[in-house]
Amino acid sequence: MRALEFKSTGYSAFFSSNFYELTNDFFSNIKKSYSSFVVLLDENTSKHCLSPLLIEIDFLKNALFIEIESGEQNKNINTCIKIWEQLSHVKADRKTLLINLGGGVICDLGGFVASTYKRGIDFVNFPTTLLSQVDASIGGKVGIDLHSHKNMIGLFSNPKAVFVYPAFNTTLPERQLRSGFAEVIKHALIADDALWKLIKKYSLAANTVSPYIEKSIRIKNQVVKQDFEENNLRKILNFGHTVGHAIESLSLQKDKNSLLHGEAIRIGMLCETYLSHKIAGLPKKQFNEIIQYFIADLPVYKIKRADFATLLDFMRNDKKNQDTTINFSLLTEIGKCKINCTSSSELINESFEFYRKLHG
Ligand SMILES: NC(=O)c1ccc[n+]([C@@H]2O[C@H](COP(=O)([O-])OP(=O)(O)OC[C@H]3O[C@@H](n4cnc5c(N)ncnc54)[C@H](O)[C@@H]3O)[C@@H](O)[C@H]2O)c1
Ligand SMILES: [Zn+2]
């Protein structure tokens, strides 16, 4: 079997459970086009993910390896500076290929570093977390956080290719796997009723998640291809993220062990399902169905009433807004999403309160 190919805007995402099949054609063809190869990774992907790459793509043994410390708190300009310095130190030129081997942090940050170094060098993504396989590595958004403001600095910049190897998920901590699955749930809720039906019956495990990855990539790719720069349709991918990013920012700011992206997005989807019912026409029955699903697996994160104002402030400062009006993408029914919805602050607070009360 050959790797599945998803053609996107100027590049392809490849998907296969066989690493050799996944990479071989591409790397044998491009070998001569580049002067040097740099692999960006963190301590976890160095330990768990590097060996298949080095076994199958022999010439990468001579690559430069840049290892950064894992974690969202490192997705910032200081880490970029360190990487740019190392690239410059080894005289990486415009014909250097950067290979991102890691989760969403490595893909976002590595893509940003590559796209700005010497006005841009090529990069490819090897996403190693469920979240990055179904979401962060595809779609061409690269960037970093500014203090606790998520993804504030960045650009649209496509990789040369993305290689999705589901087996990487088997070494992923359970918490990370669950976090990544939040984006699969999102893809189903906004675009694929049939996938939602499967998800409701599915018990998440790394060795059975492959079909969900494939379906998710298909959905994201379809959307991005039609609206790369997020003028219209692509905004549906923001379902759960208006509230979710604010919660993630709040948690990054105040918690020692902060929420993971997907954990925050689960809470965001819950609050935005509430808003979807109140203002976007999501029928009561479907509202209940979604809430029941989330309640069965509720994040233990508690939000205090005193945090509501901070959350609203984060949301007003979100880059998705035109001015200070907060922009939402909400469900009209399961599998359909409406963009450019607005809500009063009162109703947004009500949605926080709805979540708060679920914790009793
Ligand atoms: N660009 C986009 O379109 C987009 C979309 C969604 C999310 N994101 C971004 O993605 C980031 C979150 O991505 P993430 O959840 O992958 O986080 P991450 O990159 O921090 O990875 C999570 C943890 O898993 C470890 N890890 C990675 N692969 C592993 C493996 N195979 N085995 C064991 N450990 C492994 C990492 O070292 C890290 O500790 C956020 O910054 C978010 O903003 C971007
Ligand atoms: Zn997300």
Give yes or no for residue 319 having a pLDDT over 80: no
Q: Where are the domains of the chain?
A: 4-171, 175-358
The CATH class for the domain spanning 4-171 reads alpha beta
Q: Residue 159: CB partners within 8 Å, gap ≥ 6? A: 11, 100, 111, 122, 123, 124, 125, 137, 140
User: Is the model's pLDDT at 1 over the cut of 60?
Assistant: no
CA atoms of 304 and 31, how far apart (whole Å): 54
Distance CA 62, CA 338 (A): 49
CA of 199 to the centre of ligand 2 (A): 18
Instruction: State the CATH class of domain 175-358.
Output: mainly alpha
Phi/psi at 324 (nearest 5 deg)?
A: -95, 5
Which amino acid, residue 1? M
Q: Facing residues of 53 across strands? A: none
- Euclidean distance between CA atoms 149 and 333, whole angstroms: 31
3-state DSSP helix/strand/coil % of the chain, to nearest 5: 55, 20, 25
What ligand has the least distance to the C-alpha of 230? 1
pLDDT digits (tens, 9 = 90+) for 156-167: 999 999 999 999
Average pLDDT over residues 33-38: 96
Percentage of the residues of the chain whose pLDDT score is greater than 70:
99
Nearest-atom index, ligand 1, CA of 150: 43
Residue-wise pLDDT for 67-104, tens only, equals 999 999 899 999 999 999 999 999 999 999 999 999 99
Ligand nearest to the CA of 129: 1
Q: Which of 113, 128, 141 to mutate to test the pocket of ligand 1 (most atoms within 8 A of CB)?
A: 128
Calpha distance 214→24 (Å, rounded): 20
User: Best mutation site among 68, 131, 260 for ligand 1, i.e. most ligand atoms within 8 A of its Cβ?
Assistant: 131
**Is the CB of 74 inside a 6 Å radius of any atom of ligand 1?**
no
Give the model's confidence band at 13: pLDDT under 50 very low, under 70 low, under 90 confident, else very high.
Answer: very high
138 — phi, psi (to 5°)? -115, 145
Query: Residue 129: which pLDDT band, with cuts at 50, 70 and 90?
Result: very high
**CA-179 nearest atom, ligand 1:** 15
Is the pLDDT score of 149 beyond 90?
no
Same fold? 4-171, 175-358: no
Q: How far apart are CA 223 and CA 128, in angstroms?
A: 22
- 163 in Cβ contact with 18 (< 8 Å): no
Question: What ligand has the least distance to the C-alpha of 108?
Answer: 1
Looking at the CA of 183, name the nearest ligand: 2
Average pLDDT over residues 284-300: 92
- 142 in Cβ contact with 134 (< 8 Å): no
Tokens of 223: 């959307």
Is residue 326 within 8 A of residue 319, CB to CB? The reply is: no
Query: Would the CB of 158 count as within 6 Å of ligand 1?
Result: no
108/95 Cα distance (integer angstroms): 20
- Best residue for ligand 1 mutational test, from 112, 149, 176 (most atoms within 8 Å of Cβ): 176
- Give the mean model confidence (pLDDT) for residues 107-134: 98
Min mean pLDDT across 167-176, 181-190, 194-203, 245-254 is at 245-254
48 lines ligand 1 (CB under 6 A): yes
Q: Which of the given ranges, 17-26, 179-188, 253-262, 320-329, has the highest pLDDT on average?
A: 179-188
What sections of 7-94 are H helices per DSSP? 19-30, 43-48, 50-56, 77-89
CA of 241 relative to ligand 2 center, distance in Å: 7
Q: For ligand 1, say whether the CB of 241 is within 6 Å of any of its atoms.
A: no
Question: What is the model's pLDDT at position 297?
Answer: 83
The answer to whether residue 300 scores a pLDDT higher than 90 is: no
pLDDT at residue 110 is higher than 90: yes
pLDDT, mean over the chain: 95
